[in-house]
Structure 1
């Protein structure tokens, strides 16, 4: 996990990250969002239309910045990768101001009663159209194709910009940290399968919702798969030493961890354990985990 860089951050500025893509940073930095959520406006800057990917949280400042990046173009679609509250809530006011339909991931709300290790779900998200794997939205000079990538959330989509070879990865692959996988909706087996799906593709660049553009995507995805397998091996080794609850895995696996991220680490370990249980490799009795 990267340290948050010192300010100033380019919040509210339309940063041209490639010919067809403007990036606008929302003012919502946190231990889980890095410097904030990044919204992307896709389409030729001097063209007649564009799409907006992950409009972000509701913020007058951020909405003004998105509309400035849109300029005089019509918005063909407001596209959401998933429904965490740092990604989709601004779809409603942006749709109201632009007249654009909201398309992309399916609606999903999971209520939790305890402390969260990521953003909560957006209960206001109501898409006009849900995109299936392989479906595309098109405009003048741009094509965005949906790629189903469950794992971080069950409804997560990435969007491939066919004209440039770039992939908008939401929170599935980020430019600053590995993604958290939070049960019951987050699923480690699905997440690993989605990483393998990306590894088999030939995308040239990733634009994630948090962090810098990823210029060597295959290298990063291989590293992420290796990292998760390493974590799984750590869990298996610790279970073989002695049965233990989830909290007892953390000191050995995450030395020097920021206390604010302990919840995320426990959820990640839980996701691994549930996956191991599905595969018949681990068992739990009254919250105590051991190798099967």
Structure 2
């Protein structure tokens, strides 16, 4: 077999793999996925309380259902973001920008370490700023197997955030992951990963996941 035949075959194989990879990345980032037909339709952006806006993570699927729940919490345009969705998701960034308007993100609070809750932190930090003009800091519960990031601050049970009359109290429930529950202003919102926006759970091996 001539050498140029081998070169041609390798070139065709490499090109096919590259095209497939690019199509996959385009589909994952820019093609809107649809949730299951049996799920109740939910708006991408919903004002669930005067100080709370829910933004779906634009990642519907078997375990995320209509999409990961993320929340903007605060008043007077200074907000905390609870969870940041998946990494490299322009659709989520657009919806977050729509929900935030002229406001700022003063910090990102991750309820736990699943990729659909903290994976988008870096993307959010690239696109949004605090009221001081800095990338928003990330607050997480400590996870022994994960590498620490310079921009992250570990928080523990009992930590309290206060911003313009809104109080966020951190409660470590030990039920889903390292940090599982946030209570906002006299328990007006409890947001934790294993409770979906419809009040149901996606059960996987006896554990809830969304």
**Higher helix residue share:** 1
Show CA shifts across 1:112-170 (max 9, x none): xxxxxxxxxxx7976621111111111112111100011322x1231110255321222
2:77 to 48, 54, 59: 48
In structure 2, stretches of 5+ residues that fail to align are 1-34, 130-134
Q: Which residue of 1 aligns with 2:53?
A: 22
> CA shift at 1:37, angstroms?
0.4
| Cα root mean square deviation, aligned | 2.7
Instruction: Provide the secondary structure at the position in 1 that maps to 2:72.
Output: strand
Whose strand proportion is higher, 1 or 2? 2
Q: How many Å separate the matches in 2 of 1:42 and 1:142? A: 8
Deviation, structure 1 residue 30: 1.8
Taking the TM superposition and a 5 Å limit, the aligned residue runs for 1:116-265 are: 128-153=152-177, 155-163=178-186, 165-171=188-194, 173-174=195-196, 175-177=199-201, 264-265=204-205
| Residues 181 and 191, structure 2, Cα contact 8 Å, conserved in 1 | yes
Give yes or no for contact 2:176–2:193 (8 Å, CA) kept in 1.
Answer: no
Q: Which runs of 4+ in 1 moved over 6 A?
A: 123-126
SS at match of 1:95: helix
Residues 1:36 and 2:59 are matched in the alignment: no
Between Structure 1 and Structure 2, how many residues are aligned?
164
Q: What is the match of residue 57 of structure 1? A: 86
SS state of the match for residue 86, structure 1?
helix
TM value normalised by structure 1: 0.50
